[in-house]
A and B are shown apart, each in its own frame.
Chain A
């Protein structure tokens, strides 16, 4: 309250503090996004001799009519949906475990950070090596155990490859979800559980009626953040499969990169990145709602 009286008047110096950062993102984020949107309205292909020409939203229409793009979109939806489902399922179970007392908990928490902290390049190689069709260790183990009779081509079988890519995402990001949910768990008052125990509520009843509802706010923020990250997934797919075999692991990010910066069809590529941007923006509007509501 007395803050209001002493310090609560606009100090012009604040704008000077803000200026460098705002300038940085205006120049390197805002302007390029607008520029990208403008490109998306042009027939602009460096790989052809046709002159740059304004064509309105035709690039977007072309994308929607491109069965490859629709397939990519569907694959991205599959990837995001399943990755998030398993990340939150496992993350919740792991967080419940971390809440228990056991020797080595600190250590386990440190180890669990690794998949999330590792450069994605390394994660990608680690898994491509383990899942390698001819000399990968997983096939060798499965063969030895008699579960399979011949090598499985994990990364070059259509369908299976996308599942594997999804699994690798789950492996990488479950720790993130776990730690956020674990922080949320620690905010739940122990008294609630004690009261529930006295009322005769069992373990599962407590999970469903106390833990889950109380976790809702941290879970929803984590969910929005993860879905925004998942929708733009690029690194791991680019390194592991490059979208192959036959485009069955192509995601929105790799599609846009290939069109724009490999094929140099700037118009179509920009339309594809603009769509990713607007999907992210839509989610961030939700996100702002959640964040502001919390205050």
Chain B
């Protein structure tokens, strides 16, 4: 009996590791392939005898792209837009998430909460046609400002909802303590709620940043020139360049775009998972 169990356990362990390895390769091989491609010469990429590994540490794909100043610009555009939009989202969402938390009752709370849930479901495609004309009318078409505001509006509802559900978990005794000390609600937010909400703020921040950084349809529609175009749009345009698809260059840019995500996945995993599941689990 004991021996049988031990054997059964061994088989179970074997199956578990086998599955883990399969999932690992399923997930990682496509990405590895892009990394390898980014170090290959044009000949290696198109040769029919397949080279799995690049023959040398060939950096042309990177240097030729980064040397072209336009891509540096697009990258900087992306960083500016992402930082500004994330800042707007966080400031607005902290304030409204706080108002929606259990600490407050006010007239219209339920209605405005449902409003936020619906806003979270609004597809980007549903607003871009009217916004195309509106942004032109107010002079924000093809500007970083216009894109930043649009992306912020799309990312704000989820951030609010995440923060609301995180703030809900703060025990009411803490609010009461603040009140007794004579703090008003804004001081309570600054001195009590925010200092203990580090992890929730980080989760929401990362999720919002991801949404904004990866945003595609909005900059595709509203950014036309070098001063507003973001990195993902610039990458996508390479595919339709007049010289045909340069897989080496695209791979290099893709690797650059993925590195920040990779680092986040490794070092901020806990917060990302909390944000991801918080958004789905708590509604």
Contacts and interface: CB of A to CB of B under 8 A. Distances in A.
Contact of B95 (A20, A116, A171, A218): A20
A121 B257 contact: yes
A45 B258 CA distance: 40
Given A108-B20, A222-B280, A137 B33 contact: yes
Contact of B149 (A28, A238, A290): A28
A58 interface: no
- DSSP majority for the A interface? helix
B106 to A, nearest CB: 4
Interface stretch (B60-68, B111-119, B197-205): B111-119
A183 B121 contact: no
Contact of B216 (A115, A140, A234): A234
Contacts of B283: 221, 287, 290-291, 294
A47 to B, nearest CB: 14
A114 B31 contact: yes
A238 B125 CA distance: 13
Interface stretch (A126-134, A155-163, A194-202): A126-134
Contacts, number: 294
Interface stretch (A60-68, A74-82, A206-214, A270-278): A270-278
Q: What class of interface size applies to chain B in its complex with A?
A: 35 or more
Contact of A140 (B50, B120, B128): B50
Interface of B: 13, 16-17, 19-20, 23-24, 26-28, 30-31, 33-34, 37, 45-46, 48, 50, 88, 91-93, 95-96, 98-99, 102-107, 112, 114-132, 134, 149-150, 152-154, 156-157, 160, 172, 175-176, 179, 184-186, 210, 213-214, 216-217, 220-221, 231-233, 235-236, 239, 247, 250-251, 254, 257-258, 261-262, 264-266, 269, 272-273, 276-277, 279-281, 283
6 contacts: A18-B95, A111-B24, A120-B216, A234-B125, A281-B118, A294-B283
Given A11-B185, A97-B19, A126-B31, 6 more contacts: A7-B103, A17-B96, A253-B123, A260-B129, A273-B123, A287-B117
